[in-house]
Amino acid sequence: MSSRKLIHAASIAALAFGVSQVALAQSATSTAPSASPSTKATTSQSTGTTAAAKLSRGDRKFVEEAAQGGMAEVELGKLAEQHASSDQVKQFGRKMATDHQKANEQLKKIAAAKGINLPADMSSGDRREFDKLSKKTGADFDHEYMKEMVSDHKKDVKDFQSAAKSADDPEIKNFASSTLPTLQQHLDMAQSTEAATKNEGSTKTSSAR
């Protein structure tokens, strides 16, 4: 075979080899597995878990307790609308249910982003208080409920002041500071409403005599 024919044959062989390599590369690319939804979900969960792991114990405790306290305020507020005899107490209960529901929704979003699993129910202490109040009606309910609201909101204001000042996570710190004015308003309302129910009770007692 002449040298010209040998060169021509070698060129054809090289071209065929190059084409086959390109085909193999395309085949490998098309068959490569893509990330499945479950893989993406696992990645998302892992990101949330990592975020939760970075939270300080104090921040996590604040979020969990704030969530439970918020649930209790909503349920007790609804109870006040049903059991209270005073219109002022009923209105106060309605405001508690509305305001704390809004705060709870904000807290849920923050908790989800941080990978925190919030408690599904109020604390055992709040549950006992709810059960006790659910057995009362009229003036007895008014007095007990407002007494509880003053006590609860004093604690809430103190806890949120602490978190607004000392929380490590910026979002949690901002939630505490932005919610604090509403809680302070609730405390002022609770104290004035409690005083009104006491005066109302005293007036009824005097009239009975």
Report the alpha-carbon distance of residue 159 to residue 63 in Å, rounded: 11
Whether 166 contacts 133, CB under 8 Å: no
pLDDT band at 50 (very low <50, low <70, confident <90, very high): low
The whole-number average pLDDT for the span 154-162 is 97
The whole-number average pLDDT for the span 138-147 is 96
Q: What is the pLDDT of residues 58-108, one digit of tens each?
A: 999 999 999 999 999 999 999 999 999 999 999 999 999 999 999 999 999
Give the angle subtended at the CA of 62 by the CAs of 53 and 193, to the nearest 5°: 165
CA atoms within 13 A on the CB side of 111: 20
Check residue 205 and give its pLDDT. 46
CA atoms within 13 A on the CB side of 118: 24
Check residue 198 and give its pLDDT. 85
CA atoms within 13 A on the CB side of 66: 33
* Backbone phi, psi, residue 84, to 5°: -70, 150
For the chain, the average pLDDT equals 82
Check residue 199 and give its pLDDT. 80
How many C-beta atoms surround the C-beta of residue 93 within 10 A? 25
Look at residue 46 and tell me whether its pLDDT is greater than 80. Answer: no
Report the alpha-carbon distance of residue 74 to residue 84 in Å, rounded: 15
Report the alpha-carbon distance of residue 25 to residue 31 in Å, rounded: 10
